[in-house]
Amino acid sequence: MSRVDQLRFIIDDIDKNIVRLFEKRMETAEKIAQYKLENNLGILNTSREEEVIESALNELYNKDYRDELEEFIKKLMEISRRVQQKRILGMGKKRIKIGFQGVEGSFGHQAAIEYFDKDAEFMEYMSFEDVFKGLLNGETDYGVLPIENSSTGSISSVYDLIGEYGFYIVGEKCLRIKQNLIGVKGASIKDIKEIYSHTQGFEQSSSFLKKHQEWKLIPYHNTAYSAKTVALSNDFTKAAIASEKAARLYNLDIIEKDINDNEHNYTRFVIISRKALEYIDTSKISVMFSIKHRAGELYKVLEGFHLNNVNMLKIESRPIKNRPWEYMFYIDFEGSLNDIDIVKSIEKIKNSSTYFKLLGNYTADKNAS
């Protein structure tokens, strides 16, 4: 072993000890952070830091290293303050709460889990409007709602609720939907008399259901809730249209798999919030507006997209309550508010509309266009 190798061997051993001591020191600092949080104390304590430096310098045999040691200890305390800060923020951070319609095993629940951190708290709501109410009264931080299915089209009630409640769209999640006919363990297709599902489940499986006109269709709040109801009934004559996950969760049999009419069956969910978020990495914009009931008004708006080379993704119109034959338009288009052409297109819509609201600028799900 060369001399330098020998010395490096010694350094490696010293570093191992330093790492062990470093870990110990940081863990102790975290315990102090806990105490500070409980006693409402600030992290920085200058007089204590001065003491720490002084006693460290007193420990030093080789006084030539005074400045270096001081620098080292100062840096160490800076790191320890950062660790404490992280710890306090982590402890203070409340779990975010997400509202969805239905029960565990519903597609809304799945979209919520896939979009948000698993540590979030997921809250079940009976109806779409209940999800909005939960957000309005502060029970939740975000709501997850289906807005469009690739086979059956827009979920108009959710559009209306977005208009009514005035929340923002801060994200989207596109989910592949596979519907299944599920029944109690041991039930066969011949036993069935009644089917429970959300109307979307029926609509998405309409060709399959046409072959069984004798079945009574009972619309329910949610596909997973239908599965749960069938499980509780323990009745061979009842079946549900729901996900494979719901079948597993409620201990039911899959009588017929993948009964949706279209193989490529997707539902797009929007993530709604009381506040708009900062526009970072955004690629899709949603707006809502109404226009004068006059020839060429919608054309003027759409011209703005063409002139500024903006790709429109979807347009939806919904009747305005109490104003017969007048409509609210909802448009989704590609872009970010950091882009000047996009801002110009939006200005054009604003100038041509009687009412305008920017619903959100968010990151598009790659499966949504």
Q: Which residues bind ligand ISJ (CB under 6 A)?
A: 29, 32, 43-45, 48-49, 52, 77, 80-81, 84
Continuous segment of H or E residues that includes residue 116: none
Give the pairing type, strands 253-256 and 180-183.
antiparallel
Q: How far is CA 362 from CA 34, 145, 272, in A?
A: 37, 15, 11
Would you say 48 or 292 has its CB closer to ligand ISJ? 48
Would you say 59 or 214 has its CB closer to ligand ISJ? 59
Least separation in angstroms between residue 254's CB and ligand ISJ is 58
Task: Give the nearest residue (CB) to ligand ISJ.
Answer: 80
Would you say 57 or 358 has its CB closer to ligand ISJ? 57
Would you say 22 or 208 has its CB closer to ligand ISJ? 22
Least separation in angstroms between residue 272's CB and ligand ISJ is 41
Least separation in angstroms between residue 81's CB and ligand ISJ is 5
Q: How far apart are CA 127 and CA 221, in angstroms?
A: 7
Q: How far apart are CA 356 and CA 351, in angstroms?
A: 9
Least separation in angstroms between residue 80's CB and ligand ISJ is 3
Would you say 45 or 336 has its CB closer to ligand ISJ? 45
Continuous segment of H or E residues that includes residue 277: none
DSSP secondary structure, 100-112, as one string: EES-TTSHHHHHH
Q: How far apart are CA 235 and CA 186, in angstroms?
A: 10
Least separation in angstroms between residue 15's CB and ligand ISJ is 20
Q: What is the four-CA torsion angle of 107, 112, 113, 116, rounded to 10 degrees?
A: 160
Would you say 80 or 152 has its CB closer to ligand ISJ? 80
Least separation in angstroms between residue 127's CB and ligand ISJ is 50
Least separation in angstroms between residue 23's CB and ligand ISJ is 14
Would you say 69 or 113 has its CB closer to ligand ISJ? 69
In sequence order, the 6+-apart residues with CB closer than 8 A to the CB of 158 are: 128, 145, 146, 147, 270
Bridge partners (DSSP) of residue 253 are: 183
Least separation in angstroms between residue 290's CB and ligand ISJ is 57
Would you say 32 or 368 has its CB closer to ligand ISJ? 32
Continuous segment of H or E residues that includes residue 10: helix 3-38
Task: Decide: helix, strand or coil at residue 218.
Answer: strand
**Cα-Cα-Cα-Cα dihedral sign, residues 317, 320, 326, 328:** negative
Count CB-CB contacts under 10 A for residue 82.
13
Alpha helices by DSSP H, 175-255: 199-204, 206-210, 223-233, 244-249
